Amino acid sequence: GVGMGMTAPVSITAFPAEDGSLQQKVKVSLRIPSQFQANPPCPSDESIKIEERQGMTIYSTQFGGYAKEVDYVNYAAKLKSALGNEAAYHKDFYFCNGYDPPMKPYGRRNEVWFVKE
């Protein structure tokens, strides 16, 4: 029953298929606002879970516009290509992040994150 407002980024955990497309399984994560971090309200919906995301080192690329699935897939492929075979990162998932509200038409920020192993 507590309204917390929207936070950024909205982070989607994507699970790529062999061909680089995204599987239908995704996980959407929202940051809990600072004032609720120490004691977050208990979700009333069983499908909502509170998880603590541990610190991580990431490889990232940023792009603008209204991001669609194809954009995230394309930028993930570009990041993978830029990293080559030298970088060790988790290949079974990556994060697709959006930072802007839907009504912001210009200067939008989106990112793809690969998590370093």
With 80 as the cut, is the pLDDT of residue 37 above it?
A: yes
Q: What is the mean pLDDT of residues 48-56?
A: 91
Q: Is residue 41, in this structure, part of any structural domain at all?
A: no
Task: Look at residue 53 in the predicted model and tell me its pLDDT.
Answer: 87
Q: Is residue 3, in this structure, part of any structural domain at all?
A: no
Task: Look at residue 103 in the predicted model and tell me its pLDDT.
Answer: 92
With 80 as the cut, is the pLDDT of residue 106 above it?
A: yes
Q: Is residue 29, in this structure, part of any structural domain at all?
A: yes
φ/ψ bin of 71: left (φ > 0), alpha (ψ from -120 to 50), beta (otherwise) = alpha
For the stretch 57-92, pLDDT in tens is 999 999 999 999 999 999 999 999 999 998 999 999
Q: What is the mean pLDDT of residues 24-48?
A: 87
Under the banding of pLDDT at 50, 70 and 90, the label for residue 43 is confident
| Cβ pair 28, 11 in contact under 8 A | yes
Q: Is residue 62, in this structure, part of any structural domain at all?
A: yes
Whole-angstrom Cα distance, residue 67 to residue 11?
13
Domain count, the chain: 1
Q: Is residue 45, in this structure, part of any structural domain at all?
A: no
Task: Look at residue 40 in the predicted model and tell me its pLDDT.
Answer: 87
Report the CATH number at residue 73.
3.20.80.10
Q: Is residue 4, in this structure, part of any structural domain at all?
A: no
Tokens of 112: 């793809």
Q: What is the DSSP string of 37-88?
A: SSSPPPPSSTT----PPPP--EEEEEE-SS--HHHHHHHHHHHHHHHTTT--
Alpha-carbon distances of 69 from 16, 57, 61, 74, 75, rounded to whole Å: 11, 24, 15, 9, 10
Strand partners, 63: 110
Residue 84's domain spans which residues? 10-36+53-115
Q: Is residue 5, in this structure, part of any structural domain at all?
A: no
Q: Is residue 60, in this structure, part of any structural domain at all?
A: yes
Task: Look at residue 95 in the predicted model and tell me its pLDDT.
Answer: 96
Whole-angstrom Cα distance, residue 7 to residue 9?
6
